[in-house]
Amino acid sequence: MPQEFNSVNEEIKNEAKKVWQSKTGKERAKYFIYYYKVHFIVGVVAICLLASVIHFFATRKECIFQVLVVNGQSVDLLDYNAFIDGFAKTITYDEKKEELIIDPNYLIDVYAADQYNQTNIQKVFMNVAVGELDVMLCDEDFMKFARAQDCAYDLTKVLPDNDLKKYEDKLVWYDFPFEEVGIEGYEQEYEQDYKGRYEALCIDITDFEKIKEYDMFPNKNGYAIIISNTSHLDRAIEFLEYLDTP
């Protein structure tokens, strides 16, 4: 029985081979498309996807600094890429393998409870939680909301002494649980050896040169926050200094 089966099977194969060889090239193409077009399309799509993934990882650059702008000037009126490129020119990095990112696409009303605003708030602090952000530039409303999320560096602990002296009237001080105070209050408590009580969690950048040049926060105050879990602290400090250069 197996020998008879093999014989029949071989005969069928030979007959199919003769039929195939007798077909013209056009007929063979029609046959292939008719029976295998789905397999062919799936294969092409799979190859394209694989090539796209390989290209993405092969050309992906490492982000060495990321800035988030909340409630700043519209992207239609401000060239944010030119803004961050200006800072890029002041530092040394490998342009082929590294990049600086600025994300200005957040307009948030912290007092609104609708899905749009709440979703954007979640996105901002998700980026903070995973350590993707280094500096946040925002208006006063979002600044007050953000500093209550325990995500800001105390600038007195990270800024150089010359910057602290230069910007002492620009630092915004807070007492826990986040009651705004003035610089005089800090100095008084400092003299009483309560240094850790007040923290400067952000800096008023409204009058900084680059902020005015680009009109980033028209008709309102702007603030800068260094994110407490940044992995690029030195660059964040350089960025703050860049903001106040002509």
- State residue 150's pLDDT score: 81
Q: Which helix (H) or strand (E) holds 34?
A: helix 25-59
pLDDT tens digits in sequence order for the chain, 246 residues long:
455 545 555 655 665 566 556 667 676 667 666 666 676 677 777 777 776 766 555 556 899 999 999 999 998 899 999 999 999 999 999 998 999 999 998 999 999 989 999 999 999 999 999 999 999 999 999 998 888 788 899 999 999 999 999 998 999 887 654 444 444 444 444 444 334 446 888 999 999 999 999 999 999 999 999 999 999 999 999 999 999 998
Strand ranges inside 78-236, DSSP E? 98-106, 135-139, 171-175, 179-181, 198-204, 222-226
Could you give the angle at which helices 80-88 and 233-243 cross, rounded to 10 degrees? 110
Structure tokens at 89: 């020119």
Q: Contact at 8 Å (CB) between 90 and 242?
A: yes
Q: Which helix (H) or strand (E) holds 70?
A: strand 62-70
Q: Contact at 8 Å (CB) between 206 and 129?
A: no
- State residue 41's pLDDT score: 77
Q: Contact at 8 Å (CB) between 173 and 182?
A: yes
Tell me the backbone φ, ψ of residue 173, rounded to 5 degrees.
Answer: -105, 145
Q: What is the pTM for the complete model shown?
A: 0.71
223: which residues sit within 8 A by CB, 6+ positions away? 137, 138, 139, 140, 143, 172, 202, 203, 204, 205
Tell me the backbone φ, ψ of residue 114, rounded to 5 degrees.
Answer: -75, 165
